[in-house]
A = this chain, B = another copy of it.
Amino acid sequence: MQPAPPGNRAEVRTKGRTISRQVLADHVYEELLASLMDGRLEPGAVVSIDGTARELDVSPTPVREALARLEHTGMVRRVALKGYRVAPVFTREDFAELMEARLAIEPVNARLACARVTSEHLAELDRAVADLKTAPRGPSFAEYRDYLEADERFHRLIAEQTGNQFMVAAYAALGGQVQRFRLFGGVGITDAEYAIAEHQSVLDAFATGDPEMAAAAMADHVKKVRGRAIADAPAG
């Protein structure tokens, strides 16, 4: 996984071999992110700095740094002198807004990416769709985690294949993977068959190399996701 590049490892070159080191704050960041995504930290819950430090057996300093980074992703909110809390649950309005934003960004990404697609890109997209098809879709978190990961990976690959750092940033600002987990956590996947077919359509459009067709397929997919999820949204 690797949702939002949390930190950066230091490539230490020593005696020809290069080892990769990582500071504690990065580890704390990843730990907190995992807790947020698999539901161990529920929306609205307080995330105590000292408590997290004790739990992870580190000092509060790296925890502060990790939380400061997390805040900018929207996963946690901070109030000065009061601490951090997990962001509240998604409402139906939040979901509608997210889809509106995705509809503005993702078809553009598809058009740009398709215009400069390579066989390597196609192979990566194909792998994501294949993973989508083979991933289990049971009710427990562990069972749909891989599905959501493949779903997000497909869309993120397209954003990255635009070669435009700002389109990647804009896509990442929508929360990418994380929002998926928060939306569907506890509900499970109900529309996998449809979603897989739509992803396949996008992939087919990429294979033809027609940017407009790719954009149309992506727009179609996002609209249908919106329609299905509003029909049986978890939160009103």
Contact = CB atoms under 8 A, between A and B. Distances in A.
Interface of A: 7-10, 12, 21-23, 25-26, 61, 64-66, 68-69, 71-74, 77-82, 94, 97-98, 100-102, 104-105, 108, 112, 163-167, 169-170, 172-175
Contact of A172 (B78, B165, B173): B173
Contacts of A9: 80
Number of copies: 2
Contact of A8 (B80, B164, B167): B80
Contact of A173 (B22, B68, B166): B166
Contact of A80 (B21, B100, B169): B21
A73 B68 CA distance: 12
A23 B67 CA distance: 15
A95 to B, nearest CB: 10
B174 A80 contact: no
Contacts of A80: 7-10, 21-23, 26
Contacts of A77: 8
A26 B111 CA distance: 40
14 contacts: A8-B78, A10-B82, A61-B61, A65-B65, A65-B68, A94-B165, A97-B164, A100-B166, A100-B167, A101-B166, A101-B167, A104-B104, A169-B173, A170-B173
Given A10-B81, A101-B169, A104-B167, 12 more contacts: A8-B78, A8-B79, A10-B79, A64-B65, A94-B165, A97-B163, A100-B112, A104-B108, A105-B105, A170-B174, A172-B173, A173-B173
A219 to B, nearest CB: 12
A175 B167 CA distance: 12
Contacts of A26: 80
A97 B105 CA distance: 14
A158 B71 CA distance: 24
